[in-house]
Amino acid sequence: MFHPGVRVRHGPRFRGGGARGVDPWLLVVLFQAFQRFQAMERKPPVTIGLIVACAVAFVVPEQVGAIFGARTVDAACLQPYSVVLKAELMRLLSCSWFHGDEISLAYNASSLLWKGYQLETRMGSETFAMVTVMLSVLSSACAVITAGVLSLAFQNHDALYACTYGLSPLLFALKVVLYNDPDAGDARGNVSFFGLVDVPKRWAALAEMGLLHLMHPSLAMLNVHAGGALAGFTYVHRHRILRQLARFSATAARAAEGTGAAPRPPPRQPQPQPQPRGQEREMPPQQPPQQQQHYDDATLRRRAAAAAAARAERFTR
């Protein structure tokens, strides 16, 4: 059931084919894939096209590598060192379609057939094709990032310089989407590992990644598998990530314009405190508005004379 599905190479140039004996495990994987293909009610065209492309790249690797501008197969593998320091960005896309041996190709093709059939049926062929290309590049980019993290964490630089081939990162990304995205798959239920341990579907990709690392300890393989899982979770939570980026961009734009943070709301007006019962303050009665009075000149003179006489009388006293 489990196979690393990725070729890690540190030595001389590796070619796809080879005149070796037929591996019995290869026959089992091919037979299972054929049974799955026969049981499909609708044959997924994009998924089948991807499998055929991987098979052609395995048979004639150098001719297919020339399409990506790679003169050798090694120039098409994923090597984080070359991607970062040499800016060989085409490796992010080309590395997924080459395989190191027949068993890796057969296992990845069988896994892609099962996952691609479910996702392509629910998404549609056009959407699935775009999502596949995007996840292929994103998983490779995430693997480049995780290679730096693992190198710093374990003080081991194998993940930075190793050449990796295969669909394994893309398959991990597709599994995360299938088991976590409500629009593309179904996250309900569990996944059984060897009939012994049941794991919730949303954590199945991480559980398989840990189990593969125990069966095939390799920092380079752990790196590409983690990159694929990270790409899948990024796609699943893309709406939330975009909202957070939009908020961050708006805040940064306000800071650049000198406005700083958002304006503070106006201060709240103090509310009157309620009076205890029995001690309510009596309000003075409101006085009726005084009416404006009009006097003639004679009346004003009489009042002025009376006021002057009163002042003179107080002065004489």
Number of residues that make up the chain: 317
Query: At 31, which amino acid appears?
Result: F
Which position has the token pair 């009388």? 313
Distance CA 91, CA 77 (A): 6
Contact 254, 261 (CB under 8 A): yes
Tell me the DSSP string of 156-178.
--HHHH-EEESSHHHHHHHHHHH
The rounded radius of gyration (Å) of the Cα atoms in the chain is 39
Ranges of the chain whose pLDDT falls below 70: 1-26, 183-189, 194-195, 258-267, 269-297, 314-317
Contact 148, 81 (CB under 8 A): no
Q: What is the pLDDT of residue 169?
A: 92
Q: What is the pLDDT of residue 292?
A: 46
Distance CA 84, CA 144 (A): 8
Q: What is the pLDDT of residue 136?
A: 94
CB environment 27-59: b (16+ within 10 A), e (fewer): eebbebbeeebeeeeeebebbbebbeebeebbe
Distance CA 218, CA 213 (A): 7
Beta strands 197-200 and 7-9 are unpaired
Which position has the token pair 């399409």? 67
Prediction pTM value = 0.69
Coil, helix or strand at residue 290: coil
What number of other Cβ atoms are within 10 A of residue 170's Cβ?
Answer: 30
Tell me the DSSP string of 44-69.
-HHHHHHHHHHHHHHHSHHHHHHHTT
Write phi, then psi, for 156 (nearest 5 degrees): -135, 125
Contact 159, 220 (CB under 8 A): yes
Extract the tokens encoding 99.
């395989």
Distance CA 225, CA 208 (A): 10
Distance CA 101, CA 135 (A): 23
Distance CA 227, CA 216 (A): 17
DSSP 197: E
* CA-wise closest residue to 82 among 143, 160, 167: 160
- Domains, the chain, ordered by start: 7-240 (1.20.1540.10)
